[in-house]
Structure 1
Amino acid sequence: MDVSIIETSSLGDRSYLISAGAVGVVVDPQRDIDRVLALARDRGVRITHVLETHIHNDYVTGGLELARTVGAEYVVPAGDDVGYQRRAVGDGDLIDASPILLQVMHTPGHTHHHVSYVLRESNGGIRGVFTGGSMLFGTTGRTDLLGKEHTEELTHAQYHSVRRLAVELPADTKVYPTHGFGSFCAATPASGDSSTVGEQRTTNPALTQDEQSYVDELIAGLSEYPAYYAHMGVINTRGPAPVDLSLPAPVDPDELRRRIEDGEWVVDLRERTAFAAGHLGGTLGFELSDSFVTYLGWLYQWGAPLTLIGENEDQVADARRELVRIGIDDLAGAAVGEIHTLVAGTELRSYRVADFAALSEALREKDTTVLDVRQRNEYAESHIDGAINIPLHELADHLGTLPDGEIWVHCASGYRASIAASMIDRPGRTTVLINDDYDNANDTDITSAT
């Protein structure tokens, strides 16, 4: 028996293919199911069952389409009122995909009806457990995604669910979570790439703290999460449409300029320093990287026309794949090519890229406005003296409050700052992007802790 990991690093999630003989079972598949189908072909298995640990809040599931495509049984926790046929399972139910056998454990906390799947060996032993958003590596799934009115109840439930897993499963049971590899679905950052129940007994806060301490600490530590999460559960409950990974329609330079002038969402996918060196005024810079889909989805005005600018079709295709994972399906088109070929008679804009050493020098020489777009908890730990803190996801609502003149923009690494710089860039303002690791600011004398 083999468990293959299908990593989606941009969302911090994992899907799994369990294979034994000619049979395959998939757990928590992402929407771009071509990756799963290709892996199943490589393993020489037929997928007979597709399992969901919960109704996901951070991505659109591919489970329904995958099950329909391959004729598999679709297994979803009982209790969720979904708009499609599925096998609803509850605590103690068995999923027999001989020779693969999985037992359902109700593990509420991340959601009310969340389940885990215990993978059993043919001899009765236990091989692993697929924990979804319950027991993660050194942490647990967050408990506030269904609304503040449910958070305390779900946090207590999460504590007992993780403890149940730890008590009922052997120490050498491998843990296969869905979330926790950078996903905002984790209550705190996860640690490590693999683990066992035994290891979690010594590192997981639900297993090393008393119940009230765990509850208080988890709730106090919950940070903001992406705004697009509000749409994911709705789509997954209703049943996602089949995925479309085709290239969007081409957009010529004149039409591109019209869309920009009309204030539409036009997103430039190029690397952040390339955008800074030359870009079309009025466009937004979202470098295509692992952070791309999280932050675009967070800031995007849901349903607004969205046009992409890419260096080539492959870049646009990669962006489309990322976007469909969170349900942004209807792209208005894409312009492809060197940026100077897309100007339609206008001049390119640009701004400076610098580091924290340069900021330190600027602060000594003159009055300098510093915009910190990290989250408030990051700012509280350490910040540049005198910096204005506006978290990136709130910046659009505060653009009119920013002072004129020169503004230096930073975050923890440069990625969020690059988006912010593209948002505030305009004629009459001098923008400087700090493309640097915030740890380097600590080598200067310009930081302080709250």
Structure 2
Amino acid sequence: MQIEQIYTGCLAQGAYYITSNGEALIIDPLRETKPYLDRLERDGVKLKYIFETHFHADFVSGHVDLSKETGAPIVYGPNAKCEFECISAKDGQEFEIGNIKIKVLHTPGHTMESSTYLLIDENGKDHAIFSGDTLFIGDVGRPDLAQKAASMTQEQLAGILFQSLRNKIMTLADDVIVYPAHGAGSACGKNMSKETVSTIGEQKTKNYALRADMTETEFIQEVTDGLLPPPAYFGMNVAMNKKGYDSFEHVLDLGMRALSVIEFETSAEETGALLLDTRKNGEFAKGFIPQSINIGIDGDFAPWVGALIADVQQPILIICEVGKEEETVTRLSRVGFDNLIGHLAGGYDSWQKAGKEIDVVNRITAEQFATEVKIGQSKVIDIRKETEYSAEHVEDAYNKPLALINDWIKDVDTNEHFYLHCAGGYRSMIAASILEARGFRNFTEIEGGFNAIAKTSLPKTDFICQSKILK
């Protein structure tokens, strides 16, 4: 028996590839199937089952394409209603793969079909669980994503999750290994560890949600406290995972269409497509196609695309570094952005060489910022998460998280200059590009963000009254 965790950092997502005696299973696969098909061929094994822990909200799974390619059936837990052929397994049902078994443990709460898969090894011993979004390392799945589908409140779902954890997972032996679907950085939980593997015993000791003395009321309160609204694209990804989708190869063909400068310009005018520039933030600041949005491929690309663009049907034109076209298309497809028109042949350089209009971002170093800013007089907007801001921030700065930019941007006074920063420059350049696309020019973005600012002599604090407003 071999177990491999295939972890994708951009999505903080873990898929699992398991083989035993010439047969294989895959749990929660990513959208692109070729890596799995290549692995199966290399190992000389037959894919017997594709297991899904639940209908994922944060990414589009590869189950439909993988099943078509291999003939392997798709398995969900109880209550799963697919619009394609699948097995909706019963609680306790077992599936044989080589010399091992997978037992379905129905663990609703995150969603009502959520299930944990227990791997029973060749000796009949409980070896590991693949817990999906039911149990993370250091956290549990948020109980607010299935409210509409389940016609329940998040508190009711949290109560169901409490019972699932106590009755199905905490009863397992302490040495059973825990393999979750996500790690730190995913929006499917709020307190996930950077670790991606643990044991039941370790989680009983370290996971706040598995405290032995915790009551159901306490669990509900702690799990639902401080939940931010889920990204808008989550519901659309759930629908794609339930209903099916265009093949990844078709989406790749669309995105890989190389458009000349003239074709690119014409397509932008005719389709109203969003111009997505995936270059590094430093390069974008020096020059970009007007109205384009910068979300760098080298950062948390797919989650930010989903959070900020939101509508997976939005037509997109890509501007990227030459050689990064396929990676960009692949990572867009993982979160369901399939309506791709093509990419600019030769990247931004071809646009610039054609003598077309360009735009820039007013970016300064942290040292310049420290010299220019007047604490108490200058306006400083910190777009990091609330938790980052609370830990330490520039004195008298306002906290306006990037994820909420569509809410706070309408309160920005166009006649008042402000400084803009995040932690390192990635998120603040996203914000800068959105601001400029909407006509705001009255700001200065800080290179290196708070990481660089912290090295200056500027006064810093851990509190500011947020009753102040931008205007």
Matched letter for residue 355 of structure 2: G
Offset of residue 360 of structure 1: 3.0
Q: Distance in 1 between matches of 2:20 and 2:209?
A: 33
Any conservation in 2 of the 1:410–1:417 contact (CA below 8 Å)? yes
Q: How does 1:89-104 map to 2 (within 5 A)?
A: 89-104=89-104
- Give 5+ residue unaligned stretches, structure 1: none
Q: How does 1:143-182 map to 2 (within 5 A)?
A: 143-147=143-147, 149-182=152-185
Change (3 A) 1:134 1:274: same
Q: Say which SS state the counterpart of residue 364 (structure 1) adopts.
A: coil
Q: 1:86 corresponds to which residue?
A: 86
- Paired residues in the alignment total 449
Q: 1:393 corresponds to which residue?
A: 403
Q: Distance in 2 between matches of 1:399 and 1:437?
A: 20
Any conservation in 2 of the 1:404–1:429 contact (CA below 8 Å)? no
Q: Say which SS state the counterpart of residue 340 (structure 2) adopts.
A: coil
Q: Distance in 1 between matches of 2:297 and 2:146?
A: 30
Offset of residue 40 of structure 1: 2.0
Offset of residue 146 of structure 1: 1.6
Q: Say which SS state the counterpart of residue 425 (structure 1) adopts.
A: helix
Offset of residue 372 of structure 1: 2.4
Q: Does 1:416 align with 2:427?
A: yes
Q: How does 1:295-374 map to 2 (within 5 A)?
A: 295-300=304-309, 302=311, 303-312=313-322, 314-337=323-346, 339-343=348-352, 344-364=354-374, 367-374=377-384
Per-residue CA distance 1:162-220 (angstroms, 9 max, x = gap): 23344332111111111224211123222423211111110111222513323212211
Matched letter for residue 203 of structure 1: K
Per-residue CA distance 1:115-163 (angstroms, 9 max, x = gap): 1111011221111111001121111111111238431112122222223
Q: Say which SS state the counterpart of residue 258 (structure 2) adopts.
A: coil
Matched letter for residue 250 of structure 1: A
Q: 2:226 corresponds to which residue?
A: 221
- Give 5+ residue unaligned stretches, structure 2: 465-471
Q: Say which SS state the counterpart of residue 96 (structure 2) adopts.
A: strand
Q: 1:432 corresponds to which residue?
A: 444
Q: Say which SS state the counterpart of residue 374 (structure 1) adopts.
A: coil
Match of 2:256 among 241, 248, 258: 248
Name which of structure 1's ranges 79-88 and 184-193 shifts more when overlaid on structure 2. Answer: 184-193
Any conservation in 2 of the 1:360–1:446 contact (CA below 8 Å)? no
Any conservation in 1 of the 2:91–2:104 contact (CA below 8 Å)? yes
Offset of residue 400 of structure 1: 4.8
Per-residue CA distance 1:289-320 (angstroms, 9 max, x = gap): 241111112111522221001121x3111010
Per-residue CA distance 1:15-38 (angstroms, 9 max, x = gap): 101111211011111111112212
Q: Distance in 1 between matches of 2:22 and 2:365?
A: 55
Offset of residue 287 of structure 1: 0.8
Any conservation in 2 of the 1:269–1:287 contact (CA below 8 Å)? yes
Matched letter for residue 21 of structure 1: N
Q: Distance in 2 between matches of 1:55 and 1:14?
A: 15
Q: Does 1:210 align with 2:214?
A: yes
Name which of structure 1's ranges 397-406 and 9-18 shifts more when overlaid on structure 2. Answer: 397-406
Change (3 A) 1:290 1:101: farther
Matched letter for residue 283 of structure 1: S
Any conservation in 1 of the 2:179–2:196 contact (CA below 8 Å)? no
Per-residue CA distance 1:369-396 (angstroms, 9 max, x = gap): 3222234454455443443443323324
Change (3 A) 1:24 1:449: same
Q: 1:193 corresponds to which residue?
A: 196
Any conservation in 2 of the 1:260–1:282 contact (CA below 8 Å)? no
Q: 2:273 corresponds to which residue?
A: 264
Matched letter for residue 445 of structure 1: P
Q: Say which SS state the counterpart of residue 324 (structure 2) adopts.
A: helix
Offset of residue 328 of structure 1: 1.0
Q: Distance in 1 between matches of 2:426 and 2:173?
A: 42
Q: 1:120 corresponds to which residue?
A: 120
Q: Distance in 2 between matches of 1:243 and 1:338?
A: 23
TM-score (structure 2 length as normaliser): 0.88
Percent sequence identity over aligned pairs: 28
Name which of structure 1's ranges 215-224 and 425-434 shifts more when overlaid on structure 2. Answer: 425-434
Q: CA RMSD, aligned part only? A: 2.5
Q: Say which SS state the counterpart of residue 164 (structure 2) adopts.
A: helix
Q: Distance in 2 between matches of 1:66 and 1:186?
A: 27
Q: 1:279 corresponds to which residue?
A: 288
Change (3 A) 1:282 1:155: same
Q: 2:58 corresponds to which residue?
A: 58
Change (3 A) 1:275 1:317: same
Q: 1:137 corresponds to which residue?
A: 137
Change (3 A) 1:250 1:196: same
Q: Does 1:445 align with 2:450?
A: no
Any conservation in 1 of the 2:364–2:447 contact (CA below 8 Å)? yes
Q: Does 1:235 align with 2:240?
A: yes
TM-score (structure 1 length as normaliser): 0.92
